[in-house]
Amino acid sequence: MEVFWFIIIALVLVMFFILDGYDFGAGIIHLFFAKEEKDKLVIAKSAGLFWDSNEVWLVAAGGLLFMAFPTFYASVFSGFYLPLMIALWLIIFRATGLEFRNQFKLQVWKDFWDKAFGVSSLLLSLIFGVGLGNIVRGVNFGGVIDGVSSHEPQYFFLPFFNSSFSPLSTEPGIFDWFTIMIGFISTITLAIHGANWIILKTRSSINQKLKSIIIKLNIVLLVLSVAALLTLSSIKSLPIENFTSYPILCIFPLIYIGTLVGLFFTKKFKKETTAFILSSLMIFSGLSTTLLSHFPTLLPSTNEHNPPLTIYNTSTTQYPLSVAIYWGIIGIILMGIYMLIQKRLLTGKIDDFNYDH
């Protein structure tokens, strides 16, 4: 049952980053590349019509995580409390940026909420990436100092950064050069995804320009991805055991490489859906590769005194895991049906849809 719920929660999280990821990416594009009012309006609309339903997947992931792996939930939410609260306020600020923008016609009002939408999207993309970097690198469980734990072995507390700003420190911080690199990878990935979404859903005057921007961002993403892989090997041994034991799993990193290469041909695609599907698959395969490389570990430990958190030592009892199958799966199916209906109603270009509330 632990494996089943790991897969379900992983899929829900991937759905969130694919669906709300294009909202984040649209915000980044809006911040840096939208100069004319009509482009700002239509890009905000491309995110505003979908953002609230997309974030249901994040709420669902949190609820399922609390149900299935309560120890992991408690440990992560206490250890990452401050950055999670910052992320929560950024989500709120980003939403108000979309919803308040058109309440008044004053240009200064619109400019302020445009910046709120763009900056919040940028910082959220970075913070989520830094969070993933912490999960890959690991944390100092038990707060071990000089071989002695300062608190319970399944909990941790990380400062924002340590004096060396290094992931190799015995007392790592949330921000170091490795986690920030993963944050940049996340930000660029979502910017590419958002650009593909804008091209797919709008007639923005910058659509052709965005195709060139996607290729340039893809070059940076390729360089950072290779650099992250090389630097990870200097931090710890590469977690490839699952891929060598089960070669079929190699399909996920291969898909990631294939989509990364495929996006270089964005200008040649005849259908606008092709690039968006590729960036969606890139997010799916990238996250899947990361999660599968560490399975069954959920959060590694950077010290030898306290074990990592796994799906087995953090799960609840078998009874709730079994009962939750019924309402959990039904809930996910209902969410999926709602999303399909919404996408069906808002199919095609959304330039003419009203979003003035």
Q: Considering the chain, what percentage of its residues have pLDDT values greater than 70?
A: 96
Domain-located, residue 352: no
331 falls in which pLDDT band (50, 70, 90)?
Answer: confident
Task: Retrieve residue 197's tokens.
Answer: 């979404």
Domain-located, residue 356: no
* Backbone phi and psi for residue 138, each to the nearest 5 degrees, phi listed first: 105, 170
* Backbone phi and psi for residue 336, each to the nearest 5 degrees, phi listed first: -65, -40
Task: Retrieve residue 163's tokens.
Answer: 């004096």
Q: What is the mean pLDDT of the chain?
A: 88
The stretch 113-117 carries a mean pLDDT of 90
Beta carbons of 306 and 153 less than 8 angstroms apart: yes
pLDDT at 165 over 90: no
List the single range of 5-14, 46-55, 71-80, 226-235 with lowest mean pLDDT: 46-55
Choose between 275 and 164: higher pLDDT.
275
What residues make up the domain containing 332?
Answer: 2-345
pLDDT at 116 over 80: yes
Domain-located, residue 351: no
CA distance 323 to 320: 5
**Number of H-type helices and E-type strands within the chain:** 13, 2
Domain-located, residue 354: no
Count of domains for the chain: 1
Beta carbons of 33 and 337 less than 8 angstroms apart: no
Beta carbons of 172 and 133 less than 8 angstroms apart: no
Q: Can you tell me whether residue 39 is helix, strand or coil?
A: helix
Question: What is the pLDDT at residue 262?
Answer: 94
Domain-located, residue 65: yes
Domain-located, residue 231: yes
What is the β-pairing status of strands 297-299 and 309-310?
Answer: antiparallel
Question: What is the pLDDT at residue 354?
Answer: 57
Domain-located, residue 52: yes
pLDDT at 357 over 60: no
Domain-located, residue 355: no
109 falls in which pLDDT band (50, 70, 90)?
Answer: confident
Beta carbons of 50 and 342 less than 8 angstroms apart: yes
Question: What is the pLDDT at residue 146?
Answer: 67
* Backbone phi and psi for residue 218, each to the nearest 5 degrees, phi listed first: -65, -35
> Considering the entire predicted model, what is its pTM?
0.91
Question: What is the pLDDT at residue 196?
Answer: 94
